[in-house]
Structure 1
Amino acid sequence: MTIDKDISAVAPAELWRHPDPTSTAMYKFLQHVNKIYNLNLSDYPSLYKWSVANVADFWKECWHFIGIKASQPFQEVLPKDAPMFPRPDFFSGARLNFAENLLFPGNADVDEDAVAVITASEREGHVEETTWRELRELVRKCTNALKEAGVKEGSVVACFTSNHVQALVAVLSAASLGAIWTGISPDNGVSAVLDRLVQIRPQVLFADNGVLYNGKEWSSRDKTLEIVEELRKHGLELVVVIKNIDDIDSGLSELEGKGVRAEDFSNFLDSAPDQPLHFAQLPASQPLYVLYSSGTTGLPKAIVHSAGGTLLQHKKEHYLHCSMTSKSRLLYYTTTSWMMYHWSVSALACGTSVVLYSGSPFRPHSHLSIPRLLSSLKVTHFGTSAAYLTILEANAISPVSEPALDLSALEAIYSTASPLPPSTFSYVYTAFPSTVNLASITGGTDIISLFGAPCPLLPVRVGEIQCAGLGMAIDVVDSASDPDSPQPVSPPGSAGDLVCAQPFPCQPLTFFGPNGQEKYQAAYFERFPGIWHHGDFVRMDPSTGGLVMLGRSDGVLKPAGVRFGSAEIYNILTRFFPSDIEEAVCVGRRRETDRDETVCLFVVMAPGKEFSDELRERLKNVIRKELSPRHVPGIIEVAGRGVPKTGNGKKIEVAVKQILSGMDVKTNASVANPEALEWFRVWGKTH
């Protein structure tokens, strides 16, 4: 990443700077590196350049500075001149335990009677506190109960639960034993769950008896019975039911009728042998989590992440990039399926309290529901999706103007899942305290962490992700480059494909199951052999080093040879049409008989609004004026059954593009609303 300070005058407008950057852990780490290596690094760009030019030294200093707890030190960070694939063995010789680092954090002064976890939901007044002492005791019991049930190093433990303390206890207990954890949110259908879990054959399943969402309680029993009936054929032995909803039957007898042992969560813990909590001391490369690719056109790929890589990368991001400490409190609005769940619970390793929330973000107080929770719980770091913030913007919600709300504790707001529109950057600084570090961040399931991160040493600029994360040697390459010799985009600042050119410890270990390494290589190293191809279409500002996300590179629009990302269109809709258009999907269409690609924009109208030829013309005129004539969609229509999305709420652009281009696309249960894709199939055949 090259920072040209001479042209900083053309940089986007600044919205925020840290009032005292020298007080931050990031600045102290910079001074630490200067002292150890006799350097004179003066700012984040120089620190970043050093971190990617000296990969082994950086990760070594990071390990020690942020306080990774290990019973045995590493012998080397990574082999000399190690390639990215096969994945190098980071921190060979070390012995550690992921759960121990979260429950007994190094470099953090934690009062065992202080609050470690807060469980909250959309139910009015539902706030349950768990102290560090109580959390450790719950994990002790659950770990011993799992061990008694036969769970050991390498066993697979799964959940089908909401985001609450019981699920977290199960995560940490599995990790204590060296088992592999995978989580799936109960808003997924049975087929979506089985598409994932049949691949990895869990020995134990934790499941809620029901869920609360949007003011309604729903039983999970029928779903769980179907899931268990199939998983029993693939090695499932035990189901532990969490009574998440008081008035719903847990269905234990019906579950036992499926040929597995079934236990109530509380009874399961109470029956555990009374033994001390023991943390298995394991290599840094010990498998920890399985996460899943979206899988919109095939079975989801089961991505295996390591304990050491996940721990080190998360704590680097929390402690250095996000300035989290034992005085911090993090609420990330997420489900147990999403990568951000795993990222957020790792904040415990900084001594940070985590707020686990389940339910609608708009209950029970409409658009002010989450802001009221941030106020009452004195949350310091709040994470959400870009979509949530744009909804607040479209409805002109201003939490900072509410006399009953006190958001003075709020230090940071994090946004991910899709690009944050420039207008929303400005909106946040009027609707929330102007002192917050608003960080649009990017990374993904594939790396269980971030490529683009917050930074307390840099300003927040309109429309930009602040920086590349330390140690992440990313670049933007010309998408048309020779695969064997990828070239940086020219001129600098042009759009291209996001790549990473140096090994990093949170690279996946493999894909679960047969031919895992071959699938791994095909997913990330087939496009440009030797470097990580992430699949995002981005632009890096040469004056600031900031990143602008433009969409998925395989869903990039290219009319008349001009490449641009769908996010550019979405930003226009958010800025100029928030009261008319609720959401949209924008893709390129090129069938075998087409001479060029056609940009197709499909919209979902806001409640009470109707689509018209007049609106279509206004859309074209504004896009032409604000972007260029090449950006103007050739087709603008209403999406008859809505925008197709994954279970995590991400737009399925690539499958829509393929369908409209005449390809035979087979979708599976990972699509949350398959009727929407079916509508595009029908539309594509008649238009």
Structure 2
Amino acid sequence: MFPRPDFFEGALLNVAENLLFPGNAEVAASATAVITVTEAEGQRVSTTWAELREAVRGCSAALRAAGLGPGDVVAGFVSNHVQALVAMLSAAALGAVWTGISPDTGVSAVLDRLVQIEPKALFADNGTLYNGKSWSSTGKTSQIVDELKPKGLALVIVVNNVQDVALGLDELHSKGVAAKEYESFLQSGGNALLRFEQLPPSHPLYVLYSSGTTGLPKAIVHTALGTLIQHKKEHILHCSMGPASRMLYYTTTSWMMWHWSISALACGTTLILYSGSPFQPHGHLSLPKLLSALRVTHFGTSAAYLTALETNGVYPARSLDLSPLQAIYSTASPLPPSTFSFVYEAFPPHVNLASITGGTDIISLFGAPCPLLPVHAGEIQCAGLGMAIAVVDPASGAPVPPGADGELVCTRPFPCQPLTFWGREGAARYRASYFERFAGVWHHGDFARVGARTGGLTMLGRSDGVLKPAGVRFGSAEIYNLLTRFFAGEVDDAVCVGRRRDADRDEVVCLFVAMAGDKPFSPSLRDRIREVIRRELSPRHVPGVIEECGAGIPKTSNGKKIEVAVKRILSGIDVKTNTSVANPEALVWFREWAATHS
């Protein structure tokens, strides 16, 4: 598995050509390819296949005229809209490498990523609309350009995403870069024909980034063929998507799921690209109303969104026509068992509810949906086709029997293995990240279990954050599931980690909760949490520390809990956090707490 095999060596392809001209399905040029939607009612823009192809023709021709070609990096500081899709497809058409970052990301976090890979062109929104308010991003773009111009940035294309916000072109010009408005840039390529560079299967397509919670984010390079064939397998075979399908995945351009979702074009599916708050303008019914109005067949979201509906008692199918909906996909964290039951009450009972797992590392899925298999609460239905996953003993690496907990690994090569990490030491860092823990197999860093009866996969949390009091291993997800099930009205969020300092004889499980609304934390609540965990799991699962977290739960910019950094802080290890942490003040709180509870 390392060095990475060169799958389909000798073939030639272009990903943009495959997405714009889906080979397995006839789509009329006048049919709708993309619908761009924001939280503002009435802001819906439909784009036909012909219009999408024409936009990519103009944009790719303009990029070529600006001197870009195969291997150059094109970056996007853009929201989830059709212009972002056109920019990505145009980069791919000429063999450039695309990397996308959402404009709600802080400048330092953007630079932590882009300085590493030195883009030559940058697409940037002038602003964003979120939670009913317009936010300018031209100031951020200006700061980003200051740092990237000495690294080779020569061209900035500004998307007029928010009408009442300035474009900032004059300021960008003053910095010595060519700056153009998006629509005029598309016209600058002249009448050149739509042309796709034919490239080797291992040609770089995307750069995605690890969370980078304790160091600079790792820039992960994904290949053209590996990404395309993996996504087509998942969309067509695992998801039953085709030309009659419509998919809305609530995501940002930073997230791996954006890259996954836009590949659905390759099977003729219509994309609904949404940006904005999921709770505007109709509260918890905002997205369900959109699903109904646009007759969405496949809806993707996060576990946190579905548990929010559960906590607030929102049952969309009771008031909306959601009959076209065939599948709901949940990722980012394990979906609690109680939420499985809730979804089948709140949405049409014929949907394929699929908690899925994979990640940025593989730009796809290890644990996948399947419309042919039953859904078991708390479990992922099956392994992805062709993905030789297994659960092994954390110490020996030997396979464990079904029903036992262990480390998730993949034992055979797969096409979407990353090519490398970007940079001079990229290959060495790549090998260290996935292949040094267990000889010859991919170590994914998740704690998991395969059901003895069902064969389904249960995700138990990150394995480097595995809890092990008195030698009993379990994942934080087991604690989170109980909090969602029994305390949803009182506890808004939580982080559960193990603490082991030099003087400790054993690991101490520490649970920190963030309270919902104005609900108070009290000794009574602490006792009730302990009792529920003791009753539902075991006495060994009961945390030794249960406290209120005074500054919120630390998370990455993608909304994932930062368990490992909290664990290290509580264990007395110095952690240097960077701008991938969305709320660094929360980690400061944990440092202060650890200092006063030593």
With structure 2 as the length reference, what TM-score do the two structures score? 0.99
- Note if 1:434 corresponds to 2:349: yes
Of the three residues 331, 355, 358, the one matched with 1:443 is: 358
**Counterpart in 2 of 1:131?**
48
Contact 1:148 1:273 in 2 (8 A): no
Amino acid aligned to 1:647: S
Secondary structure of the 2:480 match is helix
**Counterpart in 2 of 1:508?**
418
Secondary structure of the 1:280 match is coil
Partners in 2 of 1:653 and 1:496 — Cα distance?
18
Post-superposition Cα deviations, 1:251-293, rounded to whole Å, max 9, x if no partner, equal 0000111111100001101111211100000111110000000
Q: 1:140-539 counterparts in 2 under 5 A?
A: 140-402=57-319, 405-481=320-396, 486-489=397-400, 491-539=401-449
Partners in 2 of 1:478 and 1:259 — Cα distance?
56
**Counterpart in 2 of 1:562?**
472
Partners in 2 of 1:229 and 1:260 — Cα distance?
10
Query: What is the root-mean-square deviation in Å for CA atoms of aligned residues?
Result: 0.6
Partners in 1 of 2:372 and 2:522 — Cα distance?
48
Secondary structure of the 2:56 match is helix
Partners in 2 of 1:675 and 1:499 — Cα distance?
34
- Note if 1:588 corresponds to 2:505: no
Shift of residue 504, structure 1, vs aligned partner? 0.2
Secondary structure of the 1:641 match is coil
Contact 1:439 1:454 in 2 (8 A): yes
Secondary structure of the 1:356 match is strand
Amino acid aligned to 1:111: A
Post-superposition Cα deviations, 1:533-555, rounded to whole Å, max 9, x if no partner, equal 00000000122210000000000
Secondary structure of the 1:173 match is helix
Partners in 2 of 1:146 and 1:624 — Cα distance?
61
Post-superposition Cα deviations, 1:295-352, rounded to whole Å, max 9, x if no partner, equal 0000000000000000000000000000000000000000000000000000000000
Secondary structure of the 2:264 match is helix
Contact 1:421 1:571 in 2 (8 A): yes
Of the three residues 552, 575, 578, the one matched with 1:668 is: 578
Partners in 2 of 1:578 and 1:456 — Cα distance?
30
Post-superposition Cα deviations, 1:346-391, rounded to whole Å, max 9, x if no partner, equal 0000000011000000000000000000000000000000000000
- In structure 1, runs of 5+ residues without a counterpart are 1-83
Partners in 1 of 2:571 and 2:191 — Cα distance?
62
Q: Percent identity?
A: 72
Post-superposition Cα deviations, 1:529-577, rounded to whole Å, max 9, x if no partner, equal 2100000000001222100000000000000110000000000000000
Secondary structure of the 1:183 match is strand
Partners in 2 of 1:560 and 1:679 — Cα distance?
28
- In structure 2, runs of 5+ residues without a counterpart are none
Secondary structure of the 2:594 match is helix
Secondary structure of the 1:611 match is coil
**Counterpart in 2 of 1:642?**
552
Partners in 2 of 1:633 and 1:307 — Cα distance?
46
Contact 1:154 1:287 in 2 (8 A): yes
Secondary structure of the 1:461 match is coil
Shift of residue 527, structure 1, vs aligned partner? 0.3
- Note if 1:104 corresponds to 2:21: yes
Secondary structure of the 2:459 match is strand
Amino acid aligned to 1:424: T
Secondary structure of the 1:288 match is strand
Shift of residue 111, structure 1, vs aligned partner? 1.1
Secondary structure of the 2:207 match is strand
Partners in 2 of 1:673 and 1:464 — Cα distance?
30
Instruction: Tell me the number of residue pairs that the alignment of Structure 1 and Structure 2 aligns.
Output: 597
Partners in 1 of 2:60 and 2:452 — Cα distance?
50
Shift of residue 406, structure 1, vs aligned partner? 1.0
Contact 1:557 1:599 in 2 (8 A): yes
Q: Of the two structures, which has the highest relative contact order with CA contacts closer than 8 Å and spacing of 6 or more?
A: 1
Shift of residue 221, structure 1, vs aligned partner? 1.0
Amino acid aligned to 1:487: A
Secondary structure of the 2:185 match is helix
Shift of residue 492, structure 1, vs aligned partner? 2.5
With structure 1 as the length reference, what TM-score do the two structures score? 0.87
Shift of residue 502, structure 1, vs aligned partner? 0.3
Give 4+ residue runs of structure 1 displaced > 6 Å after superposition.
Answer: none
Contact 1:589 1:597 in 2 (8 A): yes
Amino acid aligned to 1:459: P
Shift of residue 112, structure 1, vs aligned partner? 1.1
Post-superposition Cα deviations, 1:43-64, rounded to whole Å, max 9, x if no partner, equal xxxxxxxxxxxxxxxxxxxxxx
Amino acid aligned to 2:117: I
Amino acid aligned to 1:543: R
